[in-house]
Structure 1
């Protein structure tokens, strides 16, 4: 699959997201963040919602000039991993999974950005660092498991 074709599919899916879907996703992120330390929880929720909304809007307005081949095997592995995260079967979770299947392929294959924003503060006060268009993540090595998407992320471990 070519990048232009992937972007076209992601744009079509992104157009279907409403403000009500975003509210449902925020509810899911709030529930999912319940085990985060209190001092990081609100910032995490706000940062992720902002990143998702900004990325969704970026997808809707993105015009791709360069066309290149997308690694379909990697794309399918990413989508399958996202699908494997289903555990509650709530409407909020369904919307979050649906959005992740738009946002994550876009960030990985089109924007070439990490799955977390640079302004997100991880526990310990750590942040993603960008140096010469290369992203470095302070928690990537600690999160490489079947319950994360870190192995797909463009960010390199610090």
Structure 2
């Protein structure tokens, strides 16, 4: 069995055990994690992240049949797991991050996510760009180092 197949199987097994209390736990985690985000963006972020969590769990429970997007240039899976442990992420957050990053090849902020200054996450020519990726390198709570998005070019 290839490593990517083993990852998908592990994520599917994990998703099968999740329930409503896990969703409640992740909501609290997200609200706590976003407590310093500007108020006008906070609800948008929490709602977007909750939607990603629910979609990821449902995809995995339904048996996602896509091709894993794992590639050697990405953050190593071992390092990603270590980072998730460092921020005390609930299991369901880890599942979502690993699924979106290593299986679906998607950024952790969906395209269209707004940021101060009128900027947003964009996808151009198959590449995701984030306007704040480099600015978050000193933030121990941020998972930008795991995310596949690249820093947006300067305007």
1:145 Cα deviation after fit: 3.5
- Equivalent residues of 1:7, 1:110 under 8 A apart: yes
Report the Cα offset of residue 7 of structure 1.
Answer: 0.4
The residue aligned with 1:27 is 28
What TM-score do you get using the length of structure 1 for normalisation?
0.82
In structure 2, the residue matched to 1:105 is: 98
Q: Kindly tell me: are residues 70 and 15 of structure 1, through their superposed partners in 2, closer, same or farther at Cα, counting changes over 3 Å? A: farther
One of 80, 83, 92 as aligned partner of 2:82:
80
> 4+ residue runs of structure 1 moved beyond 6 angstroms?
67-70
Output the CA distance in 2 between the equivalents of 1:115 and 1:69. 15
Structure 1 unaligned runs (5+)?
A: 87-95
Q: State the match for 1:152 in structure 2.
A: 146
Q: Among residues 110, 113, 117, which one is paired with 1:117 in the alignment?
A: 110
1:40 and 1:108 mapped to 2: Cα distance?
23
- CA, structure 1 residues 20+119, in 2 after alignment: closer, same or farther (shift >3 Å)? farther
Unaligned runs of 5+ in 2: none
Provide the aligned C-alpha RMSD in A: 2.3
Question: Paired residue for 1:91?
Answer: none
Structure 2-normalised TM-score?
Answer: 0.83
Higher RCO structure, 1 or 2 (CA under 8 Å, sep 6+): 1
Greater Cα shift, 53-62 or 7-16? 53-62
State how many pairs are aligned: 148
- For residue 78 of structure 1, give the secondary structure of its aligned residue in structure 2: helix
Alpha-carbon spacing, 1:31–1:70, altered in 2? closer, same or farther (3 Å): same
Question: Does the C-alpha gap of structure 1 residues 146 and 18 become closer, same or farther in structure 2, counting only changes over 3 Å?
Answer: same
What is the aligned partner in structure 2 of residue 55 from structure 1? 56
